[in-house]
Amino acid sequence: MALDVNHFFTFSTRRLSVVASVAALAGASCSGPASALPAGGIVSYDVGLRPREVAVADLDADGRLDVVVANSGDGTITVLAGIGGGQIRRASAAIAAGREPADVDAADIDKDGDVDLMVANHETSRITVLLNNGKARFTPATGSPFETGARPHVHGLATGDFDGDGWIDVSVESADTKEVRVLRGSQQGFGAVTVIPVGTMPYSRLGSADVTGDGHADVLVPGHGDNTVRAVQRQGTGFAPATWTIRTSGQPWMVVGDDVNGDERADIVVVETDAVSIWLGGLDGFSAAPGSPLAVAGATEAATGDIDGDGIADTVIGPWDGDEVTVIAGKTLAVRRVRACERPVGLSVADLDGDRRGEILATCPTQNRLVVVTSSQSVDRESRGVLRTAARTPCNFLGSGCSSLLFQLHSFAESLLQIVSAILDGAEVSSLPRSLDQNI
Ligand SMILES: [Ca+2]
Ligand SMILES: [Ca+2]
Ligand SMILES: [Ca+2]
Ligand SMILES: [Ca+2]
């Protein structure tokens, strides 16, 4: 994610002086833990400078999930291999991944049976592609880094077989030109870029999920320019924007697609300014879940995965401000907070220890660390001290119990932000202070 105008003002005026010392975190501070993951604890790992995003996949084909972290501050990725019991350990020296790696996705790009990596190089319009030799050793693909033509630059990746030809494709947003750009995979690797005008400024992280129900992944677009969420879907051999549009009350920054209420229809999670909204898929399109949007101060990024083991994807939201990840879990979409680390923005949910409950992985850019929050039984057990309810009266996404004060504060904050946005309207993203851009 690049410059975040609203967040800048939000953070400047309301920055919390939360400094979550890694040493103070339960079970923290180890780059090679000696035993199985503690139930309901946090383990942290040294990674590169300013880690930004995390991906999880079995990279060395040993049946254990491995973790890769994009380090935006030093142009590398860190691979941590699963070694059993949910533990991970640095697998190799840092791997060069181009300028300012801001996002990383894992998929088998060349269809040789192993999982390869794609990296978004922020402050450029390029994507670095690293091919796996099957043993989690990576070398740049022929032609890498690939030019996307995105303007001013790329932030995140959305990957999937968007055109349905069996080869993984990569999508990025081009904010200045109001386009989604798809780098299409083929037997020859990534080739020409397909450009899809989307009629709004897309910014800053696209999603990938089949929300149109046609069996093909769609590109989900945060319409930052007009407070919308749109989808780009396959049409013939090309792409077209879906006919529906979701209108959000806040400015969207990121979109994630997943079935978060267990009805086997894809839903849409939108990270908005200081809020998250959930849109439930139904026969007639998407409708806001009761209680949505939910105020989440400093909301920056989201990820989904099953944390509580009920078979339904839960949602995690990381804030730019503070040290807690917000968890929206279960069919009831109950809200809880999980302490992670300062500014836990790069998120993933994955079951590292095989207990069918996903761990929360978060990058901690100010501490050059990755934290893994084990979720064993802890979603429902405050006594374990990791997950705790957001307030004495849990704020239930589908019902009552949410503090009206919270929403009043949210509305007030939104009004302020709208004023700020109006003042700044027309400001070019690329023209704003670089230091801010680099912070995000
Ligand atoms: Ca592995
Ligand atoms: Ca491969
Ligand atoms: Ca494809
Ligand atoms: Ca659903």
Distance 256 CA to ligand 4 centre (A): 13
Ligand nearest to the CA of 81: 1
Q: Which ligand is nearest to the CA of 56?
A: 1
Which ligand has the minimum distance to the alpha carbon of residue 160?
3
Stretch (H or E) spanning 221: strand 218-223
Centre of ligand 3 to C-alpha 173, Å, is 18
Query: How far away, in angstroms, is 38 Cα from ligand 2 center?
Result: 33
- Res. 16: pLDDT tops 90: no
Q: Is residue 126 a contact partner of residue 146, using CB atoms and an 8 Å limit?
A: yes
How far away, in angstroms, is 351 Cα from ligand 3 center? 28
Whose tokens are 């990791």? That residue is 386
User: Tens digits of per-residue pLDDT, 83-107?
Assistant: 999 999 999 999 999 999 999 999 9
Q: Of the ranges 33-47, 134-148, 299-313, which one carries the lowest mean pLDDT score?
A: 33-47
- Which ligand places an atom closest to the C-alpha of 209? 4
Calculate mean pLDDT across residues 286-299: 95
When pLDDT is cut at 50, 70 and 90, the band that residue 332 belongs to is confident
Sequence-distant (6+) residues with CB within 8 A of 218 are 162, 208, 209, 210, 211, 212, 231, 232, 233, 234, 242, 257
Do 6 and 423 form a contact (C-beta atoms < 8 A)?
A: no
pLDDT of res. 291: 86
The C-alpha atoms of residue 134 and residue 114 are separated, in whole angstroms, by: 5
Ligand 3 center to 94 CA (angstroms)? 30
What digits encode the pLDDT tens for the residues 359-418? 999 999 999 999 999 865 444 433 232 333 333 233 334 333 333 333 334 334 434 443
Using 50, 70 and 90 to split pLDDT, how confident is the model at 330? confident
Give residue 357 CA to ligand 3 midpoint distance, Å. Answer: 31
Q: What is the pLDDT of residue 38?
A: 56
Nearest-angstrom CA–CA distance, 374 and 358: 8
Rounded distance from Cα 63 to ligand 1 centre (Å): 5
**369 CA distance to ligand 1 middle (Å):** 20
Look up tokens 């995690």; give the residue.
316
Q: By the 8 A CB rule, do 179 and 159 touch?
A: no
CA–CA separation, 240 vs 197, rounded Å? 9
State the ligand closest to the CA atom of 136: 1
Residues 26 and 275 sit within 8 Å (Cβ to Cβ): no
Cα of 326 from ligand 4 centre, angstroms: 20
Whether residue 260 is predicted with pLDDT greater than 50 in this model: the reply is yes
The 3-state DSSP class for residue 326 equals strand
Q: What is the DSSP string of 251-265?
A: -EEEEEEE-SSSSSS
C-alpha of residue 234 to centroid of ligand 1, in Å: 33
Q: How far is the CA of 270 from the centre of ligand 4 (A)?
A: 14
pLDDT higher than 60, residue 3: no
Q: What is the pLDDT of residues 174-189, one digit of tens each?
A: 999 999 999 999 999 9
Q: Tokens standing for 425?
A: 């309207």
Burial 57-87 (b: 16+ CB within 10 A, else e): bbbbeeebbbbbbbbbebbbbbbbbbeeebb
Q: Which ligand is nearest to the CA of 67?
A: 1
Per-residue confidence (pLDDT) for residue 221, from 0 to 100: 98
Residue 5 pLDDT > 60 = no
Distances in whole angstroms, Cα of residue 288 to Cα of each of 12, 87, 249, 263, 285: 30, 38, 11, 15, 10
Question: Which of 255-259, 281-285, 385-389, 412-416 is predicted least confidently?
Answer: 385-389
pLDDT tens digits, residue range 193-230? 999 999 999 999 999 999 999 999 999 999 999 999 99
Contact 230, 242 (CB under 8 A): yes
Q: How far is the C-alpha of 248 from the C-alpha of 238, rounded, in Å? A: 28
Strand partners, 104: 119
Ligand lying nearest the CA atom of residue 352 = 1
CB atoms within 10 A of CB 424: 13
